[in-house]
C-alpha cells in the first residue's frame, strides 16, 4: 500500500518581490522556468534567496534574470565555485520572448520578477511586463490602501 506524503503547511512560494508592486504598474504576467545549478537548488530549499532588486534582460534572443541573490549554504562543496548574483537564464517559449522583446523595445516596458515558487519539482519565476510609477502614483496607492483598511475597521466595529 502506498503511503500518502504529508502535505507541507507552507505554500509553494519561495520568495516575493513586494517592492515591484509599489514601484510599477504590473500588466502582463508570464511564468518562466529557471536554469539553476545544484547548489542553487539546495540554497533555495533552505530559503536563502532574495529577489527584491532584480530585473530581466534579453540578449541574443534569450532572457536572463539579473540582480537576484541566492546565497550559498555554509556546507557547500569546496570544488564548486558559487556565484550568488550571477545572471540566470530564464526558460521561455519563443513566442513569449518575442512578445517581451516587442513590448520592451516598442512601448518602453520593463520586465520585472515578482515571485519565485515551486511548481511540482521545478522552480518557476513569475515575471510581469511593467510600467514605472511616478511619485504621485505611489502616494495615491498608499492613500487608497489606507482608506481600504480604515473602511474595513469601521465595518468590523459597526456589525
Provide the pLDDT for residue 11: 67
Whether 2 has a pLDDT exceeding 70, the answer reads no
Its pTM stands at 0.73
Rounded CA separation 30/128 (Å): 6
User: Which range has highest mean pLDDT (2-6, 22-26, 61-65)?
Assistant: 61-65
In tens, the pLDDT along 43-60 reads: 888 888 998 888 889 999
| pLDDT one-digit tens code per residue, 36-45 | 888 888 888 8
Q: How many CA atoms lie within 13 A of 116 on its CB side?
A: 22
62: Cβ contacts below 8 Å, ≥ 6 apart:
89, 90, 97
pLDDT digits (tens, 9 = 90+) for 65-117: 998 888 888 775 667 778 888 899 999 999 999 998 888 888 888 889 999 99
Which domains does the chain show, CATH number per domain?
Answer: 13-133 (2.40.280.10)
Amino acid at each position: 500500500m502506498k503511503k500518502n506524503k504529508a502535505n507541507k503547511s507552507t505554500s509553494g512560494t519561495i520568495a516575493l518581490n513586494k517592492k515591484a508592486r509599489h514601484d510599477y504598474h504590473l500588466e502582463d504576467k508570464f511564468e518562466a522556468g529557471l536554469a539553476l545549478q545544484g547548489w542553487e537548488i539546495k540554497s533555495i530549499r533552505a530559503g536563502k534567496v532574495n529577489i527584491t532588486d532584480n530585473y530581466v534582460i534579453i540578449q541574443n534572443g534569450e532572457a536572463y534574470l539579473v540582480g537576484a541573490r541566492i546565497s550559498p549554504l555554509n556546507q557547500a562543496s569546496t570544488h564548486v565555485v558559487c556565484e550568488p548574483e550571477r545572471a540566470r537564464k530564464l526558460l521561455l517559449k519563443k513566442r513569449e520572448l518575442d512578445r517581451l522583446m516587442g513590448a520592451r523595445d516598442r512601448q518602453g516596458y520593463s520586465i520585472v520578477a515578482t515571485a519565485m515558487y515551486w511548481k511540482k519539482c521545478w522552480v518557476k519565476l513569475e515575471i510581469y511586463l511593467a510600467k514605472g510609477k511616478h511619485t504621485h502614483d505611489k502616494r495615491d496607492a498608499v492613500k487608497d490602501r489606507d482608506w481600504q483598511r480604515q473602511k474595513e475597521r469601521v465595518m468590523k466595529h459597526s456589525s
